[in-house]
Structure formats: C-alpha cells, structure tokens
C-alpha cells in the first residue's frame, strides 16, 4: 500500500477510541452518477436492518513533508472546498464512474487492475506523493486539494494506512465524492460511527465477502458453531517496518491486515457481535500482533473460535460454520455448502475478480460493499487492538 508521505506526516498520531474527527462534517453535496439500468452512486441505502442481524440488506443475486497529498500546503477542509451553491452535478447517463486512486503502492495498483476489468468505472487519476513511485499510464494528480475541487472526479479510493484516513474520507464526502476505503476501513467502531454520520456514499474493499453465495448471505445462521484458522508467515524484520510497525497508523498486525478478510466473511454469515474474548495475544511491536486466539459471541447465539497467526510457517486459510442443516466451509477462497446430504462447491475466483465485484457494487450504490456491513468485524478488531495496546 502506498503512503502519501506529506499528508501522513501532518496527521497526528491518534488513539482511535478517544480522538474525535477534527474535521467539521457538513451535509454532503450529493452527486449521483447514473449508469443505464443501475441506479446512482449517490443513492443512500439506510434504515434497513436485515439478515444476518446487524447487517444491511443485500439483494439475492448481487454478487513530501508539508506538501499535502502530493500537492502544496495542507489538505483543505470541507468548509473551503464544498460549495453548496453548485448543487448536485448530474453525470450523463452511460458515462463511466471516474475514480482517483490515492496511494499507489501494492493496494493502489490492485485497485487500478480491478477497475480496468469493469467497463462502467474508470481511473481518472492517481495521487501519490512519493516521486519515486511511477503511476504508469495514469494521469498523476497535482494534490489532494485539486482532487477535492475537480468536479470530473466522482469517487476517491483511499489506498492508505488506516491511521488518519477517516479525516480524508470526511473531507472527500463533504466535497461531494463517493469514497472507497481499503481494509481495515476504520481504526475503531467509534471512528466508523463518525464516518457513517457524515453521510455520503462509502464503500469498503473487503473483497472476500463476494465469494459467499447470495443464497447463503440471504439466510442467517442462528446458534451456529464456527472455527477460523488463518496462518501466513510474516518475517517481522522485513514485513513489519515503517507504518506497518506503528499501531497508530496500521491499527494492528496480522489480524487487521490479513485475518480481517475471513473474520469479515464469518461476520457476514453470523451477524452482530455481542462480545469478544482474546485468549492469546503475541506481538512483534506494541499493538502489532503476530498471533491472536479468541472467541467471538454473536447476537444470533452463534460462536466463532479463531486463531490468526503470522509466526507459523504453514499456510492455511479456513473458515467452517455449522448450524441448522447447513455447513459452510471456505478454504483458500473456495466455498463448500453442505445442506443435509447435498453438497455444492463454488470454486475460488481470483482475488482480482473479487475486487472488480466490489467496484461493480460500489458504482451502483454500495450494498454488500457498504461501510455498515463492516461494523461487526470492526468490533472484533477493536477488541484485538485493546488487548495489544490497552486503549
């Protein structure tokens, strides 16, 4: 993931459970982006509390220092950039949704690849403050202020470390942009609440939830028993460096940046989180976990026993949820659904294809990719963070 060095250097180190957003949030200028037969980017999806409990509805079948964000001066506040006199700018029907990718490290490049697969979305420009990082064939934006004021930009993809990202998201919302957040989307549930309260259109790049069959998403599990084991080795001396070694920027270690995907899939099936007990926590730096084990209890009466590890050489990613007459197993991306004696397997699509599905959902108004559906997994990450940092 690329880092916009100037912007991040100015953002204060934060303790997410306490520090409020300093940005004054204004009611956003809604700018619907319509595509034939699809609906609008600016359309809000609020007020539904559907299955699983605690998650919004999904339709069945939906599958340089001091330089600002690459520019000069500080990032402008929403009061300086949003002009309510303009009113909502309608985009001609059939035009692609135009996205500026902010941060062009590995995550930013993955976003660009996903967008190129989708006719209805296009990369408008790339914002990257590190001049050593090339943006290839994409136009390089001159700065964050320019992005906020450019009415040809419909959305921003914030491919940045999570620390301080919510402030940028709030500014983009106030400027009338839709926002797509990389994972983990927020530093805490409190931060998620404040960002959700800003209004606007906010989606999340948690692409693995798009592996789950719509029929499974539509039918909640109750009183289910689940297990999760995610193991992928990370050498602390080489992997957990720079922002990844700072919990104020990274939020956490292996759980927040890898385990989050399978934890999120479990939450899509089990619903709202009731409690989280962290039994074992190991770290390579304060707040940067290399192994976490615990038990999650859900309001549905379900439980999930989990271990996420970066200190074990063997690699595996497996989620098993058993309840009523069904059992769902996700192993390395492939999903197996067993109902009674019948069994079906849904092969693992490429991760790039899943990212494209996120953008497809985001462009028509976030459903499965919505910020609100991230609340349960954010609650889990909240408790893991507290176990490692005490705050």
Tokens of 12: 């204060």
59 and 132 belong to one structural domain: yes
205 and 68 belong to one structural domain: yes
Which has the closest alpha carbon to 342: 329, 326, 331?
A: 326
141 and 185 belong to one structural domain: yes
170 and 252 belong to one structural domain: no
Task: Please list, in sequence order, all residues whose beta carbon lies within 8 angstroms of the beta carbon of residue 129, skipping any fewer than 6 positions away.
Answer: 3, 4, 5, 6, 7, 64, 67, 68, 69, 70
202 and 219 belong to one structural domain: no
65 sits in which H/E element: none
143 sits in which H/E element: none
Measured over the CA atoms of residue 286, residue 288, residue 292 and residue 295, the dihedral's sign is positive
103 and 125 belong to one structural domain: yes
Extended strands (E) in the chain: 34-35, 39-40, 97-102, 121-127, 155-158, 178-182, 202-205, 225-231, 273-285, 288-298, 303-309, 316-323, 326-331, 334-339, 342-346
- For 95-150, write each residue's pLDDT tens digit: 899 999 999 999 999 999 999 999 999 999 999 999 999 999 999 999 999 999 99
Q: At what angle do helices 260-270 and 375-389 cross, to 10 degrees?
A: 130
206 and 236 belong to one structural domain: no
Q: Are 387 and 205 in contact (CB under 8 A)?
A: no
pLDDT at 19 over 50: no
- Cα–Cα distance for residue pair 122/100, rounded to 1 Å: 9
- Provide the domain count of the chain: 2
Domain end call among 161, 181, 210:
210
pLDDT at 179 over 70: yes
Backbone angles phi, psi at 378, to 5 degrees: -65, -35
303 and 277 belong to one structural domain: yes
Backbone angles phi, psi at 88, to 5 degrees: -65, 130
217 and 299 belong to one structural domain: yes
**Which domain range does residue 245 map to?**
211-362+371-389
Which has the closest alpha carbon to 88: 147, 37, 172, 154?
A: 154
User: For position 343, what pLDDT does the model report?
Assistant: 96
256 and 146 belong to one structural domain: no
184 and 303 belong to one structural domain: no
**Predicted TM-score (pTM) of this structure:** 0.79
- For 213-243, write each residue's pLDDT tens digit: 999 999 989 999 999 999 999 999 999 999 9
* CATH number for 295: 3.30.360.10
* CATH number for 40: 3.40.50.720
User: For position 188, what pLDDT does the model report?
Assistant: 97
305 and 346 belong to one structural domain: yes
């Amino acid at each position: 993931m690329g880092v916009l060095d100037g912007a991040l250097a100015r953002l204060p180190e934060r303790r997410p459970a306490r520090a409020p957003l300093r940005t004054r949030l204004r009611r956003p200028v809604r700018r619907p982006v319509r595509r034939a037969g699809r609906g609008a980017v600016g359309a809000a999806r609020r007020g539904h509390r559907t299955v699983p409990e605690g998650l919004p509805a999904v339709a069945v079948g939906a599958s340089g220092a001091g330089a600002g964000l690459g520019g000069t001066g500080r990032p402008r506040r929403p009061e300086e950039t949003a002009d309510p006199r303009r009113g909502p700018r309608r985009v001609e029907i059939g035009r692609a949704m135009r996205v500026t990718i902010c941060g062009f490290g590995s995550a930013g490049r993955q976003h660009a690849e996903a967008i190129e697969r989708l006719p209805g979305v296009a990369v408008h420009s790339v914002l990257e403050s590190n001049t050593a990082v090339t943006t290839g064939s994409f136009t390089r934006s001159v700065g964050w202020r320019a992005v906020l004021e450019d009415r040809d930009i419909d959305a921003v993809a914030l491919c940045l470390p999570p620390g301080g990202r919510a402030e940028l998201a709030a500014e983009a919302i106030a400027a009338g942009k839709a926002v797509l957040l990389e994972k983990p989307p927020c530093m805490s549930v409190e931060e998620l609440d404040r960002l959700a309260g800003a209004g606007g259109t906010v989606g999340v790049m948690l692409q693995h939830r798009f592996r789950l069959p719509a029929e499974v998403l539509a039918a909640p599990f109750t009183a289910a028993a689940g297990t999760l084991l995610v193991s992928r080795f990370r050498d602390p001396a080489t992997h957990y460096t720079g922002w990844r070694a700072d919990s104020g920027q990274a939020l956490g270690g292996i759980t927040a940046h890898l385990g989050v995907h399978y934890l999120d899939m479990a939450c899509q099936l089990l619903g709202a989180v009731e409690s989280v007990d962290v039994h074992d926590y190991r770290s390579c730096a304060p707040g940067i976990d290399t192994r976490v084990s615990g038990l999650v209890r859900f309001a549905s009466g379900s439980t999930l026993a989990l271990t996420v590890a970066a200190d074990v050489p063997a690699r595996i990613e497996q989620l098993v949820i058993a309840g009523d007459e069904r059992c769902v197993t996700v192993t390395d991306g492939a999903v197996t659904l067993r109902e009674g004696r019948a069994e079906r397997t849904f092969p693992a699509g490429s991760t790039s294809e899943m990212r494209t599905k996120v953008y497809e959902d985001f462009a028509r108004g976030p459903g499965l990719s919505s910020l609100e559906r991230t609340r349960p997994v954010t609650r889990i990450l909240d408790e893991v963070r507290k176990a490692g940092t005490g705050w």
